[in-house]
Structure 1
Amino acid sequence: MLFEETKKILEEAGWYEGRKIDISEHIKFLEDMGYEVFDAVKKWLEEFGDLKIVLEDELFDDDDDDDYTMEYSTCIKEIIGPYKKNINQDKKAGEKTIPVAEIANNEILAYIGESGEFYTYEGLLNSNTDNFWNSRFANTRVERPLTWIELGKDDHLERYLEKSGQ
């Protein structure tokens, strides 16, 4: 369930209960980029696609003269387009994934998996859509992200052993 604080922020960006936008262009774009579009990403794009969220954040503003803002985007062409190829976390996640959001001022990509879980390059971010949004905008931690190492899915040691011939 989305928290009221989270709903308010999403609504200011254009989201509303029952939102279902036309995603046919997004699906074609993703397929052209080499992605196999699955149900979880379709549902996400219909409800949350094409949102831009900009928040003033006093917690990180260390200069009284300038406002610090946090930006989030679910505009799929802007998120994936610059990469010119399929980027995913499929191998580590153990399922198909597609990037669906940029968080933290375009520095972090969030990927949705077929299961509806959210990943970053570091590991499992959130277990579902509501927790993803609530973790971003509510003043409470919904669940703790888990790194690939904690999930037992980091292949760093295996790659090291392969390179060293062990």
Structure 2
Amino acid sequence: MLLEETKKILKEAGWYEGRKIDISEHIKFLEDMGYEVFDALKKWLEEFGDLKIILEDEPFDDDNNYYTVEYSTCIKEIIGSYKKNINQDEKAEEKTIPVAEIANNEILVYISESGKFYTYEGLFDSNTDNFFNSTFAHDHCERPLTWIELGKDDHLDRYLEKSGQQK
């Protein structure tokens, strides 16, 4: 369930309960980029696609410094500059497609066929409501799990193997 704080932020960006936008142009764009479009993505895009969220005065650090943070769910802007399909399919072990940029375009967020959200670091959230609540209502969030914690990163294994160490 979306928290009221989260709903307020999304509504300011143009979202409303029951929103269902035409995504046919997005589907064609994604397929032309080499993505296999799946139902969880379609449902998510219809309700949350094409939103730009700008939050001013977000806390930056413990010294009470503040800054503006931008978020986007505009698919063409998010992945349009890439010339190929970028995904986290291998590590997620299911199809993924980037659907959001957070932290001033620093982090791509991918939705998976099962509706989970990933970043390049690992599992970000388990569903849409948790994704938005943890992004906008910071005290209501799941702790992201890294690929290593998920057992999906063999970087440590390769390092230990090269150095002659064991796990």
TM-score (norm 2): 0.90
Partner of 1:26: 26
Offset at 1:159? 5.2
The Cα of 1:139 is off from its aligned counterpart by 3.7
What is the root-mean-square deviation in Å for CA atoms of aligned residues?
A: 2.3
d(CA) in 2 for partners of 1:135, 1:12: 18
Corresponding position: 1:102 with 2:101 = yes
Q: How many Å apart are 1:163 and its aligned residue?
A: 8.0
Contact (CA 8 Å) 2:39, 2:113: kept in 1 or not? yes
Question: Deviations for 1:86-116, whole angstroms, at most 9, x for unmatched residues?
Answer: 0000000000000000000000000000000
Trace 1:68-87 onto structure 2 (pairs within 5 A): 68-87=67-86
Amino acid at match of 1:26: H
> How many angstroms does 1:156 deviate by?
1.4
Instruction: Give the corresponding residue for 1:150.
Output: 149
Q: Is contact 2:54–2:71 with CA below 8 Å preserved after alignment?
A: yes
Cα distance in 1 for residues equivalent to 2:100 and 2:111? 9
Distance 1:143 1:58 in 2: 19
Counterpart in 2 of 1:41?
Answer: 41
Report the number of matched residues: 164
TM superposition shift of 1:157: 3.9
Tell me the CA shift for residue 141 of structure 1: 3.3
Percentage of identical aligned residues: 85
Shift in Å, 1:162: 8.7
Distance 2:126 2:64 in 1: 35
Secondary structure of 1:111 counterpart? strand
Distance 2:64 2:147 in 1: 35
Q: Contact 2:50–2:74 at 8 Å: present in 1 too?
A: yes
Q: Which amino acid is the alignment partner of residue 126 of structure 1?
A: D
Structure 2: 5+ residue stretches without partners: none
1:130 aligns with 2:161: no
Residue 117 (str. 1) matches residue 127 (str. 2): no
Task: Measure, in 2, the Cα distance between the counterparts of 1:91 and 1:58.
Answer: 34
Equivalent AA in structure 1 for residue 153 of structure 2: D
TM-score normalised according to structure 1 size: 0.91
Moved beyond 6 Å, runs of 4+:
61-64, 161-164
Indicate the SS of the match to 1:71: strand
Contact kept? 2:58, 2:69, Cα under 8 Å: no
Q: CA deviation at 1:140?
A: 1.1
Task: Write the letter of the residue equivalent to 1:112.
Answer: I
